[in-house]
Amino acid sequence: MVSVTGLNHRYGEGPTALTVLCGLEMEVERGGYAAVTGVSGAGKSTLLAILGGLEPVQQGRVLVAGMDVSLLSGCELARFRRERIGFVFQDFGLLTMLSARENVEVALALARVPRCDRRRQADSLLAEVGLADRAGHRPARLSGGELQRVAMARALANHPQVLLADEPTGNLDEGTAGRVMDLLERLREERGCTLVVITHNPELAARADHRLRLSRGRLVSL
Amino acid sequence: MSWDDAALLALRSLGRRCARSLLAGLGVALGTTLLVALLGIAATADSRIVSQLSHGGPAAAIHVRDAMPDPAGYDSDSLMSGPHRDLGDDAVAAIHRASHVTSVVPFLSSSALVVPCPGITPGSPDAPVPCRQPVQGYFGALVGTDLTRSRDLPITLLAGRLPAAGSMTEVAVTQSYVQRVHLDVTHRAAVLGSEIEFATPQLLPGGGTRFRGRWYRAEVVGVVAQTVDGGDFLVPIQQTQVARQWALGGADSRTLRRPTSPYTGLVVVADSLDNVHAVRQEIFAIGYANSAPEHLVASVQKYLHVVDIVLGGIGAVALAIAVIGVANTLLAAVRERWREIGVLKALGASDADVARWFLVEAGMLGVAGGLAGTAAGAGLAASVALAVNHYLVGQGLQGIDLGGPPVGLLVGAPAVAVLLAVIAAVVPALRAARLPVREALGG
């Protein structure tokens, strides 16, 4: 489901160029759960961005959800993200002017779900993450854990084959972080999607099937 | 993301920064207000000036006389007539058949001895206001026409109403009559309800100027700025037709000719100012003298168009400045929504989806500002027109057409505001759409 071969990535040109990924190899099977750890600046977020089609592939081969990401154009990448990928961000990435339901509906709208079905699906997704009673609330009125659960509901709106989470518990306290990760894992199991999580938290990483540490641009299995 | 999804997103984005959105919309509204008000006032002024030139009648009106044309008058605005020629229904029908003619209204003038306030002793405390000072009888001219077609005639009603069609006992007077009965023109309405006695003459045989009159009384029901043919009294044509029949029963003399022509003249209206000259030439060809201020109106209109362009230009500059404000607001919004743009793109929004969001937002500002500005501009133009009208009428002058700004302007101004706002949003929208997603997400 996720297959990375000989991935090189660097920022800048010439002598000041900074290599962040160097001949990186990675394999996660369908429905698998991989946790990537590493020090700050190790390239974890860059790796996740490349997997999600947010960053162009400079060198190497990246297969995600059956698509060779390195071969996709701008429009195709947008479609790839829209149809196959779900993102969960550390800072939730919710649109503050929209309610929880509307945030989910935006993802459904982008996924071309008919307007008449969106509300029902959004409510169903919010119920799935335990926020049925907070659907009409705007982000400013939700707690950190609730915000992340809304973000997770939104990420699942397009029935992604791969769920990419960039430090999803980074802004949450320990108890909430644990509950969010429980939910994320449950959703992965129920929906059978592949989960790749970037985290600094070794306890959360320990729960993954594949524990990978990014060091000097290469992944090391733990 | 469809257009209505983009509209919802845009609406919420505008609501989030209410004050800034309001200011940007207000800028568009003010620009549109200025544009509509200036062009509306200019249009009113144009119609007032053209109306003044055409004595309150249609701008494309042509006056035809019961006379042969003088070749010198073929290319002149002034009436240059040759010998008398009767003007009857055959001529009316022939002129009506001419191309570009929309209406032909005949009129018949007749002279009469006029006695204001018959049977009332001047100075009597019971006398109506216009009859309190003695007024001598005098010879005046009655102009009779089909008053059901007053829109096609150079008639401006200043007070009261026009005489009922076919009435033999109602008359409208001009302001010269108001002054003759020693009233100030600003109090012209006081003349309404008073009576006038007319004596239309029939020349007695014997070659002299002795005549007998056909006496009748009429009530003053209205005051007009001018009659069709320069007389003091405007009446239904039946009154002057009876007067003509009465005159035909008498003798003829060099000084007081018997009125052989069924009509004194016609008011012919062309379908447009551009066709006035062609219609005049056809009437010349039929054999009647005519006049129309076509050259004067055309040259004045050229200057008026220049004024329109200048005023429109000022309004357009104001609108352009407002639209630059919209562009500035949206550029700030792009910077502010950097992260949100990144999130949308991460969720699969295409560049077009992101651009649509900003274009729709600009369109909404344009619609709100354009509609509000058009309404305010039309209101402002109407207020100015009302004030000017009040002043003109108060001064005893012909008022102005209060029809409001042209419909094209009312429809076009909001459309222009929306179009300019959307054009202004192109750069911010492109900047947002082309934002690298990773950069937008802050990576």
What pLDDT, on the 0 to 100 scale, is given for residue A106? 92
| % residues pLDDT > 70 (chain B) | 94
pLDDT tops 60 at residue A37: yes
pTM of the model: 0.69
Q: Are B212 and B201 in contact, with CB atoms under 8 Å apart?
A: yes
**Distance (Å) from the C-alpha of residue B27 to the closest C-alpha of chain A?**
24
3-state secondary structure of B334: helix
Q: What are phi and psi of B174, to 5 degrees?
A: -95, 175
Average pLDDT, chain B: 86
Q: Closest Cα to residue A24, out of A175, A186, A214, A172?
A: A214
Residue B78 DSSP code: S
| Separation in Å, CA A82 to CA A21, A85, A112, B138, B348 | 26, 7, 9, 95, 4
Amino acid at A11: Y
Tokens, residue A115? 């307007």
**Rounded average pLDDT over B256-266:** 85
Total residue count of chain A as it appears in this document? 222
Give the count of Cβ contacts less than 8 A between chain A and B: 78
Residues 6+ apart with CB under 8 A from B322: B27, B28, B29, B30, B31, B32, B369
Chain B residue numbers with beta carbons less than 8 Å from the beta carbon of A111 are 348
- Considering only CB atoms, A97 lies closest to which of B1, B12, B343, namely B12
The type of residue at B229 is: D
Lowest mean pLDDT among B62-71, B117-126, B279-288, B308-317: B117-126
What are the angstrom distances between the C-alpha of A25 and each of A46, A163, A218, B278, B441? Answer: 14, 19, 8, 89, 25
- The set of residues, in sequence order, having a beta carbon less than 8 Å from that of A189 and lying 6+ positions away, is A31
**Best A81, A101, A102, A115 residue to mutate vs chain B (most B CBs within 10 Å):** A81
pLDDT tens track for B67-114: 998 888 777 888 888 899 999 999 999 999 999 999 999 999 998 999
Distance of alpha carbon A171 from alpha carbon A201, whole angstroms: 12
Shortest CA gap B417–chain A (Å): 27
Contact A109 B16 (CB under 8 A): no
**Could you report the predicted ipTM of this complex, rounded to two decimals?**
0.91
What span, in angstroms and rounded, lies between the C-alpha atoms of B30 and B370? 9
**In this structure, what DSSP letter does residue B274 have?**
G
DSSP state at residue B164: P
Which of B5, B9, B350 lies nearest to residue A78, judging by beta carbons? B350
pLDDT given for residue B109 in this prediction: 92
Q: Residue B80 region, left (φ>0) first, then alpha (ψ -120 to 50), else beta?
A: beta
